[in-house]
Every structure is written in C-alpha cells, then in structure tokens.
Structure 1
C-alpha cells in the first residue's frame, strides 16, 4: 500500500472511531452498570441527593435504593439538618434496612459563608453551639457519625493568631457537645473563595491538634486540596492522624473521577493500602447529562476503583 493511501485510510478510521465514541461510551457505561450492579466497591463511596435522579427517581429514598443496587453502601446529605424530622427518620430507617452508612451532613449555622467564628463574638459562638446541639438530635435519627464544620471567613481586622484562637475556642465548645455521642465534626478547608479561614489541610491539622478532641478532625476534600495546594498524597500522609473523612471531585470542573487531571485510581489505591475503611463522599456534579450521564458516572467509579 502506498504511504499516502495508508495515511488516508488511517485518518478515516480515526474519524470513524471519534464519531462513534459517544455511542460506545454510553453503551459501555450501561454494560458496566448491568454487569456489576449490586457488587460493592473496594472503597466506600457515598453519592448524594440528585446524583441519580434520572435512573433512581425524584424521591431521595428511591435514589438511595438505586444507589444500593449499583453497589454503593453509603450516602451523604449536606442539607440533612434542614429536612423535616419525618424525612430524617425515613432516611435513617432505610439506611438501617440496607445496612448502609450515613456520611457527612453540614452543621449549618447560617454563618458558614460570612465572617463569624474568627471574630470571637459571642453571638456566633452561641449560634454554633446551638446548631451542634441540634446536629446531635439529627445524627441520632440517621446514625450519623460525621458532621461538616466550616468556621467562616477571615476577620481582616484581627491578627491571624487571634483569629485562630477564636476558632479553636468555639470548636472546643462544639466538641464538648458532640464527643459524648461519638459524633465527629470534620473541618473542611475549602477553595471556593480566598476569604475562607480554613484553606489547607496543614492549617486544619494545627487547629485539630489545638482543639485536642476525638470529635474534631479533618475532612480532606481532594478537589479543594488540589486547587489550593496540590501534592495530594504527601500532604494527606502528613495529616493522616487527624483525617476522619474524605471527599472526591476531579479538577477542573468538580465532576467524577476521570474527567479532570487527578489520578484517582492511584489515590484510591493509596488509601486502600493505608487501610482506610471510612466513607469517601462524592462531593461533585455529574459530567454527563441525564440517565446516560449517571451511568457513565458509575462506570467512572468502577474504573477508578479497579486498583487491586
């Protein structure tokens, strides 16, 4: 065959493969979902409300059943505190029936996204303490063991050391409430805005050591840590004894593993080797749209979880 004809045929074959790529991916996703349905993953990934609404149904309880059928054994629900008591009890009952684990919900004081605990003002401390008490009752209904805490924004009028001391003082009060019930507040360093007080795992580590309670640990959100610091595995190892919960999201885009730059298969393998048995919250959106996008998301987790 002449080189020119060979190159032309190769190019046409490549174009044909690209043209069929979307269909093949969707078919593979559906096939993977069917062949592994119900098989638990190697690690404990936790979807959230709305992630499988097209395949599981609009009702969160139906989605939880669908999650279980796909092999997931945990969920997380940031907005749990805002659900009515009847719904919280239904979620708890279903999780117990399925032997599933409740991951994090947010200790939402209404002040998480403003300058609050860093100020040292009693009004913010009181709101935090009251919400911790409410969180204990909510956690009991769903057998939750972890609750996300965000200390709010910097107070630019105060030195950093004073702000840190104010946050530590408030967290100690919260830990006193949670500790008798075996509930752990997990501090989440975030990348959404540079105004946030907690920005890195190392800083959160320092705060946890100062609080000095088994009920104050770190939520290591891999997406946020990639954006703020990178060096994901070494930093994780440095802070390991204070990490109680992990969340997932690829970067850029904050979608499922395989849609960005993070090598999640290696990270999951590392966590498995370290003996991590905790929950990994799927704190991200869906890359694809509709029912097919949801199946593709499940396939992405099957692929990333295939590290043994």
Structure 2
C-alpha cells in the first residue's frame, strides 16, 4: 500500500487558527501555517467535530479537516441536507483531494421498517432510500452508504428472518451495483432488539447476497462491545469488509481514551493493505478547542505504528 503524499497549503495544529469578528475560517488564510500531517490511513472526521476551531459553517469545517491532514469526510445525515449543500460538499472535497465516506441510507431509522419482517411496505421504503441515495452519491462522489436492517421480527424463526433480510438486500444491491455503489451493513451494539449485531452474522449475510454492492461496515467501537477479539474477527471477515469506523470503549470517544489498543488495530488494518476510509464516528472526550486539539493529537499518536 502506497503512502499518500500531497502538496497543500494548509494549517496544522492547535492554536494556529484565530477566528474573530465576522471573519470565517475560510477567509482567515493569513492565519494558516504552511504544514500538514501525513496520516497513514484515511481517517474521516464528521460535521461538528472541529466547530470550535472552524466555526459552524460545514464547508469551513471540511477545509479545517483538510488543513490538519485528514483526507476523508463522512456525514451520516447527508441525505437530509439540501441539494445545494450536497453540491458544495462534493465540490469542496474534490478541491481538497478528500474522499467522501459513508452516509446513511434513509429508511426511517435504525429500528424502523425492519427488513427481517419481510413486509412489502418495509422493503419498499428501503428500496426507495436506495434509489434516492444514488443521486446523492453522485453529488459528493460517494461510494459507500450505511444500511442498518432494523430490529428482530420476534414472531418469526431466525432462519426466516435471515432469508427476508438477504432477499431485501439483494434487491437493494440490484439498484446500487450498476452505479458502482456499495451499501455497507453495520452490526450495532445499541440494543438487544437490533437484528444485526455481530461480524460473523454480517459476513454470512454478505456471502448470501453475493454482490460487490453489499459489504460489511466494521465499527470497532460496537464490535468491541458485542464480541471483542477485534483483530482476530476482522481477519476472519476481512474479504467482506469495505468500510471501518472508529470509537474507543467505554465512552465512544477518540482513540487513547478507552481500552482499545488502536495503534495495534490501525497497524493491522494498514498491513492488510486497506485503502478505504476509517470513519471517526465518535465524540470528543473534552469540550471546546482543547477537546478538538486532543482528538487531532490522539490520531497523530495512534497513527505512529510504522
């Protein structure tokens, strides 16, 4: 895997950015340093993560991310943004050489319209979300979108639920595959009522769907909670993993704040030749600018695995 080398005019570090009066981050070019950090992997911050440095404007936030050396961005709520903002995001990412990470396929929420039930009205809502996501993906040059199948349908045997989910996802893949798009299935730890909870279960479903447009989103935070043994389980399911998300446990904040040895996990991912995106789907352990700086420093520290 080649390490990325970019030449950018950027700002690194805590304390460099000064926001004052009516001046936005984007207009404060004279306050930027001419340096940036070369990360080994494509870590993707999300909206609001650096708002105390960059301000409330999302485009300014993306530019700040780029100036720190981050080469990707993810936005779960992208489908709910107006088209003009989606276009601005796409244009900014292209200008800054950044990769668009996941957004969530709108199907009504994690627990809603469960595919395990096999109900036509639930499947129609999911398929409509897939169709609408194609146009959204084009605007931001996205490849991956998150799908959560919903909750268990307790009145049905688990094998029937599996069959219902697989058939629904096959139909979703038929929509996405002609466009080169990939829905990534995310097993979650949030509730025992969620149908999809483990990496091996998700692996089985992806094998059954048998499409390049249906893969695994391995969220390290959730998988540490539900199954642990992270590197081993990632290795077992690696050929179906297309996207990774980050969060330490407990707390779901930046690496170094919990029990996960992220330096070792990141080294494993790097050594596997992973060239995709690692979404920073976590909070900041501390508030304000100091908390944002701590996030940046945590990634610099855990990225030093070579």
Scaled by the length of structure 1, the TM-score of the pair is: 0.88
Task: Report Cα offsets for 1:15-67 as digits up to 9, x if no partner.
Answer: xxxxxxxxxxxxxx738999995223111100000000000110111000000
Q: Flag as ranges the 4+ runs of structure 1 deviating above 2 A.
A: 29-37
Is the Cα contact below 8 Å between 2:113 and 2:122 reproduced in 1?
no
Q: Secondary structure at the match of 1:30?
A: coil
The residue number in structure 2 matching 1:73 is 71
How far is 1:115 from its partner?
A: 5.3
Native 8 Å contact 1:119 1:166 kept in 2: yes
For residue 137 of structure 1, what is the aligned residue in structure 2? 135
Match of 1:158 in 2: 156
Partner residue, 1:6? none
Aligned length: 280
Per-residue deviation, 1:301: 0.5
Alignment of 1:265-284 (within 5 A): 265-284=263-282
Aligned to 1:97: 95
Cα distance in 1 for residues equivalent to 2:150 and 2:35: 40
User: 1:59 matched to which residue of 2?
Assistant: 57
Q: Which secondary structure does the structure 2 equivalent of 1:246 belong to? A: strand
| Equivalent-residue separation in structure 2 for 1:149 and 1:165 (angstroms) | 17
Q: Secondary structure at the match of 1:153?
A: coil
Residue 256 (structure 1) aligned to one of 249, 254, 257: 254
CA deviation digits over 1:160-181, x for unaligned, max 9?
A: 0000100001000000000000
3-state DSSP of counterpart to 1:260: coil
Match in the other structure for 2:195:
197
Partner residue, 1:221: 219
The CA distance in 2 between the partners of 1:292 and 1:250, in whole Å, is: 19
Shift of 1:111: 4.5
TM-score for the superposition, normalised by structure 2? 0.89
Structure with bigger gyration radius: 1
1:269-293 deviations in Å (ceiling 9; x for gaps): 1111111111000000000110110
Gaps of 5+ in 2: 1-12, 18-31
- Partner SS for 1:170: helix
Whether the 8 Å CA contact 1:255–1:287 is kept in 2: the answer is yes
Whole-Å separation in 1 of the counterparts to 2:279 and 2:36? 19
CA distance in 2, matches of 1:241, 1:31: 42
Which structure carries more helix by proportion? 1
Distance change >3 Å, CA 76–CA 38, structure 1 → 2:
same
Gaps of 5+ in 1: 1-28
Does the aligned pair in 2 maintain the 1:115–1:155 contact within 8 Å? no
Identify the match of residue 239 of structure 1 among 237, 240, 259.
237
Question: What RMSD in Å do the two structures reach over aligned CA positions?
Answer: 1.6
1:113 aligned residue: 111
